[in-house]
Structure 1
């Protein structure tokens, strides 16, 4: 019986491994995919509003604007809190009292359902003007090309 002895050349050296185990990478990526799929719907705005479309560009903002939304039933929401028509003026005066670093009242983002009548939106805009909130942006969906 012959026995093969290791030679001096291969002593202490191993051949490089040419395989990569991708199973842990795939497992981690699938977990991340599931996490993003679950959390993405939760990041949408709190009040469902069917916005009209426009080709206007987005505005640059320095401070966080106040979100004012009017849903399809005419219910008004200020930063996702429902406000009745009688309490709207008082709420807007509180918002106007908050001054930014530049000494101006905060920017207002007005989102109104496209099925609403023009009068309801104009009444809310009149209350905004009366409270001194003149920096109002009307939000729309981006128009499809």
Structure 2
């Protein structure tokens, strides 16, 4: 009697419900509607919000060095090195900067874009060894 066709065979009954026909599923459509409405509200209000902190910057009496105060090391396309338009040897640069520019700790280094890389690296290394910070110029000084 593995197979029977009786009246009480269970055909027509719901899978999750009992014999009375009630549904026991969760309806998530209202939940999805609420979540989407909240998402839209947050997306619209995020553009209105202003981010950042108000900071009161302390006042100082110290003045910053201007571009005219700092020495400029130029490296030409051929690799010729000059300090403020005066041709110099690479070994003399740190000594001249310390002597002529009151021990300046920063130096602008400007090189031709089609120039050799080796003189540029040598200048940076010589300045670093002397404790001078090179400031690489990417646009012409104004």
**TM-score, structure 2 length as denominator?**
0.45
Q: Who wins on radius of gyration, i.e. which is larger?
A: 2
